[in-house]
Amino acid sequence: MTTSGSSPSRAAVLRVRDLAKVFTSDGVPVPAVRGVDLRVHPGEFVAVMGPSGSGKSTLLHLLGGLYRPTRGEIWIREQRVDGLGQAGWAVLRRKHVGFVFQTFNLISNMTVADNVELPALLAGTGSRVARARREHLLGELGISNKAGAAPTQLSGGEQQKVALARALANQPSLLLADEPTGNLDSVNTLNVLRLLVQVHDQGQTILLVTHDARVASMADRVVTLFDGMVGDDADITPNPKRITSIIDLRG
């Protein structure tokens, strides 16, 4: 068991200290995240698991700047970011943090191609490079033929894959993914996991929330939350052929 990830000598892409979030319901405080400490190092693939209501999605939304913490510190690339305003977080996400939402958050009046290319273009990537990156990502996910479609013309599973492609478009320092296979059938789940394994093997740092133990088995490390706190943080034995362990998802 480890409490701060492997290779602590490396500078962390993400560092969290005593992070907490308390919501209020009818005047009653409801703790969702309670004193989480966490480090994610460059190139790590970390899966966050736990029962419903354990604080997984709340934690991810805190790390992506969508919620403001009640207390605690968030450091991304050695910059403290928990005090940033909306504009500051928008710049950070544009340059360094890709986010895959459960609800997709695609822009309905733009095509799939434009949705995927937009983050890279906003980050200053040239149009030719952004287009090539988009074509590669949509091809890997099996939806190249949907590039000219509007998000409303896609199934939920297709929209989820577009959301993943968009999050990876500008090759972020950190990819945050909230149940990225939650709306997919087994074949499409396999396509998404193949892409995640591919970009991770190329050095992408990933923090992924999932209910699926088979998805978590793709990670280097599994952090388990209980009642908003880290109950376990364990490395997984490296498996160079790990994608073969989920071929049964086709069935």
List, for residues 76-133, the tens digit of each pLDDT value: 999 999 999 999 999 998 889 999 887 888 999 999 999 999 988 988 889 999 999 9
CA distance 221 to 3: 11
Residues 226/50, Cβ–Cβ less than 8 Å: yes
With a cut of 90, say whether residue 247 has pLDDT above it. no
| Domains of the chain, residue spans | 1-43+52-84+202-251
Instruction: Give 11-49 pLDDT, tens digit per residue.
Output: 899 999 999 999 999 999 999 999 999 999 999 999 999
Kind plus residue range of the DSSP H or E element containing 79:
strand 79-80
pLDDT at 246: 52
CA distance 60 to 62: 5
CA distance 164 to 188: 12
pLDDT at 209: 95
Beta bridge partners, 182, equal none
Torsion of CA 43, 49, 53, 55, to 10 degrees: -30
CATH 3.40.50.300 for domain 1-43+52-84+202-251, yes or no, is yes
User: Residue 3's pLDDT band (boundaries 50, 70, 90)?
Assistant: very low
The pTM for the full model equals 0.87
* In the block, residue with structure tokens 């200053």: 124
